[in-house]
Amino acid sequence: MPDNLAKPCILAVDDTPENIDVINGLLSGEYKVKVALNGAKALKIAQSASPPDLVLLDIMMPEMDGYEVCRQLKTNPLTKNIPVIFLTAKSEIEDETKGFALGAIDYITKPISPPIVKARVKTHLALYDQNRALEGKVRDRTVELNATRLEVIRQLGRAAEFKDNETGLHVVRMSYYSKIIAEALGMSEDQTDLLLHASPMHDIGKIGIPDRVLLKSGKLDDAEWNIMRQHPVMGVEIIGDNKSSLMEMARLVALGHHEKWNGKGYPNGIAGDDIPLVARIVAIADVFDALTSERPYKNAWTVEKAAGLIQEESGVHFDPNLAPLFAERLPDIISIKEMYSEKNNTPTNAT
C-alpha cells in the first residue's frame, strides 16, 4: 500500500488555483491533499466514502461562500465533526466571530504564514484524532453498559418465572412473539427492539405473589384471585419511576398486559385503545405462550388450538387489529417456539 494512503487527508477549498497550489505545496509532503475550487465540489468530497480529516476553507468564493459551506458541513450528521479552518483575507473581528459561530475551529488570515498553517493543521488533526479515540471508547462503554442493563432486565424477568418455569424461557419466547407482532403492525425498528427488551418484565410483579397462590394447581378462590390480580401493580412498583424509554415501556407492559379489549380485564378494567398498544401486543404473546407451554399444574395446548382461541377472542380479550397480524406471522412465531423449546437447555443467545 502506498504511504500516502495512510496519511491524514486535508481538503483545501479556494476558488483561486494559485492559492490551492500554495497549500498543496506546503502540505502534500506530510498529508494527502484534496482540492476543490468551489463550495459544491467541497461538499461532495466531504460527503464521499473517503471524507477528509480536516478542511481548509476560503470564505470569499462565488455562488457559495465559505460561510455557507461551513454551515452545511456542520448541519450534516455525516460531516459535522470534520474540523474546519478558515483561510481568508477577511480579517475583521466580526468575520472571525461569524466563522467561529458557524463551527470553525480556527481562523487564519491571508497572506498566510507557512509555519503557522502547518502548526495549526498538525495541532487540530491531533485533537481530532484524540476526540475520535475518546468517542470510540465512549461508544464501547455505552454498548457495554446497555448490554449489562438489558441482561439485568432479562434476568429479573426470568426470576419471576422460576417458581413455575425453571428454565425461564417463557419470557424469552413471548418477548420475541411481541416483537414479531409489532413488526407486522409496522412499528419502527427502535420501538420493536425496545419492546423486545421491555416485555420480559411483564410479570415481574409475580415475585410478590405468595407461592400458595401462584403455584396452586387447582382453581383459585375469590380471595386468591384478588391477590393474583395485584401482580401488575406490584410490577410497576418494582420497576419504579426510572425515566428511560425502556423502563417506561416496561411499566406500560407490566400494568396493562392483563387488561382486555372489552374492559373486563385487570387491574384497572380499561378497554379498547385506552390500553397501551404495547400492552395489547404483549397480551397476545403472553397468552399464546402460556397456553402452549406445559407446566406441573397444566398440559400444553396445541398451537392450532391456542391460535384458534386468539382469533375467537379477537375484539373480546384481544385487540381486533392485532389478532389477524398474529395469525399472519404465526409461522415465525412457531419458529421461535421451537428454537426456545423447554425441552432444550437455556440457549446462550437468548435475548
Average pLDDT value over all residues in the chain: 88
How confident is the model over 287-316, as pLDDT tens digits?
999 999 887 667 899 999 999 999 999 999
Q: What is the pLDDT of residues 90-123, one digit of tens each?
A: 878 888 899 999 999 999 989 889 999 999 999 9
For residue 66, give Cα distances in angstroms to 25, 103, 219, 262. Answer: 22, 12, 77, 63
| Rounded Cα–Cα distance for residues 321 and 299 (Å) | 29
Q: Domain range for residue 243?
A: 161-339
pLDDT band at residue 345, thresholds of 50, 70 and 90? very low
pLDDT over 90 (residue 321): yes
**Confidence at residue 350, expressed as pLDDT on a 0 to 100 scale:** 44
pTM: 0.58
Q: What is the CATH number of the domain that holds 20?
A: 3.40.50.2300
CATH number of the domain to which 179 belongs = 1.10.3210.10
The pLDDT tens digits of the residues spanning 203-226 come to 889 888 888 888 787 788 999 999
190 shares a domain with 75 = no
Task: Please count the structural domains in the chain.
Answer: 2
Q: Which residue shows C-alpha cell 453498559?
A: 145
Beta-carbon count within 10 A of 196 CB: 18
